[in-house]
């Protein structure tokens, strides 16, 4: 108990700050991944073969590349070799790199989640849109995507949960988040390893479980009636 109280006294304030970093990474990367995922999904269902090839190529390549590799390419190659800098502050710059890496990686999964929703839209909806003179983009924006997104709530929610847990990889970009703090705490207090693991695990549960509950509620509420 004494070792646990000392641990709380030493790192009690740092734990919420570290998890706040994970939440910020997850929120911004979710927006980026969703925006890019919609564009990729449009490419994958496009009537233009070259766009379909670009969308499919991106998805297959990125999904089969480890997130850590993508993160390190940004930090070691784009920043380290090409000297591309987004902000003068070291921490802010690496935070942006982490957000971009998370967005680019999970956009491939977001694309497939949205495409799975497109597959739930009856073919007659697209045919009806073409029959009234709508082109591909207007039909996608007004008819297909609104229904597809409602049908893809669950896979999109699962992607957001995976993204939230994958924010721990941001430690590879020198971003001070929960997993990095856990490593520091274990190095300083190896005698309290179980308590440290439980603290970090409970913290992620408190973030991820509400996302799962919200996804279930939204899926039940906004499901498309057939």
pLDDT per residue, tens digit, the chain (226 aa), is: 545 566 667 777 788 888 898 999 999 999 999 999 999 999 998 889 999 999 999 999 999 999 999 998 988 888 878 888 888 888 888 899 999 999 999 999 999 999 988 888 887 887 888 888 888 888 888 888 888 888 899 999 999 999 999 998 887 777 777 888 888 888 887 877 888 888 888 889 999 999 999 999 998 888 665 5
- Would you state the pLDDT for residue 3? 58
Please tell me the predicted confidence (pLDDT) of residue 82.
Answer: 84
List all residues 6 or more positions away from 58 whose beta carbon is below 8 Å from its beta carbon. 40, 43, 107, 108, 111
- Residue 192: predicted pLDDT: 78
- Tell me: domain 2-222, CATH 1.10.3720.10, correct? yes
What is the distance between the alpha carbons of residues 79 and 61, in angstroms, rounded to a whole number? Answer: 22
Query: Looking at residue 16, what is its pLDDT?
Result: 86
Q: Is-contact 140 73, C-beta < 8 A?
A: no
The predicted structure's pLDDT at residue 222: 80
* Amino acid 5: pLDDT: 66
pTM for this model (two decimals): 0.89
* Gap between the Cα atoms of 109 and 102, Å rounded: 11
Closest CA to 169 of 77, 102, 104: 102
């Amino acid at each position: 108990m004494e070792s646990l109280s000392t641990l709380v006294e030493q790192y009690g304030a740092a734990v919420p700050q570290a998890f706040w970093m994970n939440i910020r990474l997850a929120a911004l990367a979710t927006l980026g991944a969703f925006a890019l995922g919609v564009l990729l999904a449009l490419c994958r269902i496009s009537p233009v073969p070259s766009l379909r090839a670009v969308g499919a190529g991106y998805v297959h390549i990125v999904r089969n590349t480890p997130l850590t590799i993508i993160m390190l390419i940004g930090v070691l190659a784009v920043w380290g070799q090409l000297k591309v800098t987004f902000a003068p502050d070291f921490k802010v710059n690496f935070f942006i790199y982490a957000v971009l890496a998370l967005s680019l990686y999970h956009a491939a999964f977001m694309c497939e989640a949205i495409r799975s929703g497109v597959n739930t839209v009856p073919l007659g909806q697209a045919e009806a849109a073409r029959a009234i003179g709508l082109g591909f983009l207007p039909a996608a924006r007004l008819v297909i995507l609104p229904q597809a997104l409602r049908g893809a709530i669950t896979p999109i929610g699962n992607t957001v949960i995976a993204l939230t847990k994958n924010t721990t990889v941001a430690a590879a970009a020198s971003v001070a988040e929960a997993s990095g703090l856990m490593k520091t705490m274990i190095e300083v207090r190896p005698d309290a390893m179980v308590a440290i693991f439980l603290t970090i695990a409970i913290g992620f549960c408190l973030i991820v479980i509400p996302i799962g509950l919200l996804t279930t509620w939204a899926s039940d509420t906004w499901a498309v009636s057939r």
